[in-house]
Each structure stands twice: as C-alpha cells, then as structure tokens.
C-alpha cells in the first residue's frame, strides 16, 4: 500500500492544495494522500498566523467528504521546526514495509539537495513532483544520486494562502478560493483579520 504525504503550513488550506493532492492520488495510484501541517516550516520566514489546532481543523473540514485524502497531526504533536527527514523516519518506524511518497511542488525540487539530511531522506522516501503543464523541471540527481522521482502533471491553480490572508484582512471575497466549510470556520473564528 502506498501513501503520499503533502507537508506545508496550510495557513489556510485552499483549492490549490486539494487539487494537487487529488492529482497525486490519481496519477500515482496511491491509497491515500495525507496532509501534514507543520508545527513550524523551516523554509518559512514567519510562523503560521493560525494556530496549529485551527490549521488542522481547517484541513479536516476541507477533506471531510474526500475519499483518499487524510490529515495527520504528527508534526504538530512533535512541535518545534518540522523537518521532513524526521517525519519520514517516524513514518518508516511505524510502517517499515511501506515506502512513503513525499509530494512537492516544482519550485521545491531545485532546493531539495539543500534540505536537512537530504541524502538520508532520499534513501528513505520516494518523491513526486507536481510539475507545471509542459515544463521539464531540472532534476538534481547529480547532487542527490539516490533520488527516486515521479513527475505528476498538475493542474495549475493560481491561488496562494498569502493572497487569501490578504483578501481576508481587506474584507474581500474569498469564496471559490477555498472550501465553504473552511471559509465559514475562518469567519467564525475571526482568523486572519489582522496582519
């Protein structure tokens, strides 16, 4: 059984994340794609604006009726900075028979050799890259010789969590950017209304 893992801040989760997960699930023939909200992402300049509990709740609302999509709080429970090699090691310890598939965007592929313990990481997990239609991403196999990589033809959805937070602060409409259940949660909790 193969499971894909999609890490990030998800501050908040939006339709772009959900479509990427669905693309990976279908094209890789995975049993599930698991969203792993980071306690603190190492490549982000600032901490998430929503609490870990709120970000996890938004993911759970977004995937409530989505077969094959799941959420895990393992990085949140571990706390601190969420390094992928630590998460993959924990996954391998729990399920030694199953190789995790780590799903990344094309923009992260070039930086993969700079991730903490990257050489160890590529020996513990396979990677799947969400590529833009028609693109040929540069695969860093010269710097990561053990890299096992599958390319996914991803739908391009130009939505970002940064833009959504800005729109919410400016009291602009965010409908269609994220699931209604998530938008209702944000409004009820008054999230992202200040910088």
| 195 domain-assigned | no
| pLDDT tens-digit readout, 104-116 | 998 888 889 999 9
Kindly state the average pLDDT of the residues 20-25: 96
Confidence band, pLDDT 50/70/90 cuts, at residue 140: confident
What's the start-to-end Cα distance of the chain, in Å? 43
In a domain, 171, yes or no: yes
Q: Which of 65, 83, 66, 61 is nearest to 74 (CA)?
A: 83
Range of the domain at 183: 3-189
Q: What is residue 195's predicted lDDT score, i.e. its pLDDT?
A: 64
- Whether 13 is covered by a domain: the verdict is yes
Average pLDDT score, the chain: 92
pLDDT at residue 41 is higher than 90: no
* pLDDT at 1 (0 to 100): 65
Top pLDDT among 45 and 183 is at: 183
Q: Does any domain span residue 134?
A: yes
User: How confident is the model at residue 84, as a pLDDT?
Assistant: 94
Q: Which residue has the higher pLDDT, 42 or 93?
A: 93
Question: What's the pLDDT score for residue 190?
Answer: 95
Residues 6+ apart with CB under 8 A from 101: 2, 3, 4, 5, 24, 28, 30, 125, 126, 127, 128, 150
**Does residue 79 fall inside a structural domain?**
yes
Q: Name the token pair of 106.
A: 């094309």
How far apart CA 103 and CA 30 sit, in angstroms, is: 12
The rounded percent of the chain whose pLDDT value lies above 90 is 74
Q: Which of 47, 42, 45 is nearest to 85 (CA)?
A: 42
| CATH number of domain containing 78 | 3.40.50.620
Question: 62-78 pLDDT, tens per residue?
Answer: 999 999 999 999 999 99
Question: Looking at the DSSP assignment, which residues form a beta bridge with residue 175?
Answer: 178
Alpha carbon distance 87, 22 (integer Å): 22
Does 194 fall in a domain? no
Do 131 and 107 contact (CB within 8 A), yes or no?
A: no
Q: What are phi and psi of 165, to 5 degrees?
A: -60, -40
Residue 43 pLDDT grade (very low, low, confident, very high; cuts 50, 70, 90): low
pLDDT of 45 higher than 80 = no
Q: Is 51's pLDDT higher than 80?
A: yes
* 51 in any annotated domain: yes
The domain tally of the chain equals 1
The pLDDT, as a whole number, for residue 185 is 98
> Is 107 inside a domain boundary?
yes
């Amino acid at each position: 059984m193969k499971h894909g893992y999609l890490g990030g801040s998800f501050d908040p989760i939006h339709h772009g994340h959900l479509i990427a997960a669905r693309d990976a699930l279908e094209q890789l023939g995975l049993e599930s794609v698991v969203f792993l909200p980071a306690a603190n992402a190492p490549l982000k300049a600032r901490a998430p604006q929503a609490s870990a509990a709120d970000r996890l709740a938004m993911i759970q609302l977004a995937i409530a009726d989505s077969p094959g999509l799941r959420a895990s709080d393992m990085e949140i429970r571990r706390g601190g900075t969420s390094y992928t090699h630590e998460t993959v090691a924990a996954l391998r310890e729990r399920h030694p028979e199953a190789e995790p598939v780590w799903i990344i965007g094309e923009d992260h592929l070039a930086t993969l050799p700079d991730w903490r313990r990257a050489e160890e990481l590529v020996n513990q997990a396979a990677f799947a890259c969400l590529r833009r239609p028609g693109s040929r991403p540069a695969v860093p196999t010269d710097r990561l010789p053990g890299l096992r990589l599958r390319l996914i033809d991803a739908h391009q959805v130009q939505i970002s969590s940064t833009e959504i937070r800005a729109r919410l602060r400016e009291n602009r409409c965010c409908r269609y950017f994220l699931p209604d259940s998530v938008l209702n949660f944000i409004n009820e909790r008054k999230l992202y209304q200040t910088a």
